[in-house]
Structure formats: structure tokens, C-alpha cells
Amino acid sequence: MNRLFSFFIALIIVSSSIFAQDVDKVKAKIEEMNKVYTKAMIDNDVEKMLSMYTEDIISMPSYQPTIKGIAKVRELSEMQVKSGWKTTEFILSITDIIVQGNLAIEIGNYNMKMSGPDVPEWADYGKYITIWEEQKDGSMKIKVETWNTDTNPWAQMEQTKQEEMKKVD
């Protein structure tokens, strides 16, 4: 009985270390893909970004309705490029990776800078969750993504309003 108990304890320890190695490998793979995605965002390379999504992507951005499907993501991405808005800096910092079957859940924080027509460069920061799905060929693609800002736009509007009022006084 003692041997059986010892065997199960050893099995649990070995299994948990194997799982940790798998998570480390998945995290390294995601970090590399995030570098590609970041470059594509800064370069406004819509095709490269789209190649990283599954056909049935679900995207849930801040202050916007849910976007479903690669065709809709393409349409909105191309509209953004044509509008003149540009991401000038984009940094993703992974805080957690959870591996479950053929899915990897990436949790982290982002920092970014953007510029647009007649608008000075501005910064945003917040948090995100990306669910990556392993494909049949072993690659991983984004299946679900969501992000939201840590900046409070209502507080920013109030601050701007107060600054404008001080100018009048």
C-alpha cells in the first residue's frame, strides 16, 4: 500500500513538471507570434494580421460590439488603415498562460500608442485575453480575443473640461 501511495505521489510530481514544460513551450511560441502580430499592427499589414486568426474568430474590443468571422475583421481592419489611424507602438506583456487541450489562454497587459489624422499621438494601456487554438498542422491561431482599456474616458473628458474652464477664467 505504501509503495502504491509513493508511486502516485511520484506520478503527480512528474506529471506536474511535464505540464509546466508544456506551458513554457506554449508561452515561448505565443511570445514569438506576438512579435509577428505587433510588427503587422505597426506596419498596417492587414494580411499578416488576418493570417493569425481562425476563420471563425470572435473579437471583442473595448467600446464596440462583438465582431465575428474573418471577413468582418478584414473589413474593419481595412477601414482603419484607410482612415489614416496608425498604431505606432504596441507592447504585449503576458502575465498568465493556461493550456487546456488544444487551446491556450493568454492573459496579459498591453501598452500602445496611436496617431490619426489631425490628432496628436496618444497612449492607451489595459489588459487582454487571447485564446489560441492549435491547428492540425501544429501552428496556433487566434480563436477569441478581447481587450479593454484601463483608462477611463469619462474621467479624461472631465479633466479636459476642467482644463478648458481654467483657460476661460
pLDDT in tens, 27-83: 999 999 999 999 999 999 999 999 999 999 999 998 899 999 999 999 999 998 999
As a whole number of Å, the CA-based R_g of the chain is 21
Task: Indicate whether 120 belongs to any domain.
Answer: yes
Task: Indicate whether 159 belongs to any domain.
Answer: no
Task: Indicate whether 164 belongs to any domain.
Answer: no
| Global pTM exceeds 0.85 | no
- pLDDT band, residue 12 (cuts 50/70/90): low
For position 8, what pLDDT does the model report? 52
Q: Beta strands 140-149 and 53-60: pairing type?
A: parallel
Among 15-29, 40-54, 80-94, 110-124, the minimum mean pLDDT is found in 15-29
CATH of the domain at 29: 3.10.450.50
Contact 141, 52 (CB under 8 A): yes
For position 163, what pLDDT does the model report? 66
The whole domain housing 29 covers 2-152
Task: Indicate whether 165 belongs to any domain.
Answer: no
- pLDDT band, residue 16 (cuts 50/70/90): very low
Task: Indicate whether 89 belongs to any domain.
Answer: yes
Give 141 or 63, the one with higher predicted confidence: 141
**Residue 26 reports pLDDT greater than 90:** yes
Task: Indicate whether 157 belongs to any domain.
Answer: no
Task: Indicate whether 161 belongs to any domain.
Answer: no
Task: Indicate whether 158 belongs to any domain.
Answer: no
Number of domains in the chain: 1
Average pLDDT across the chain, whole number: 86
Contact 69, 86 (CB under 8 A): no
For position 109, what pLDDT does the model report? 98
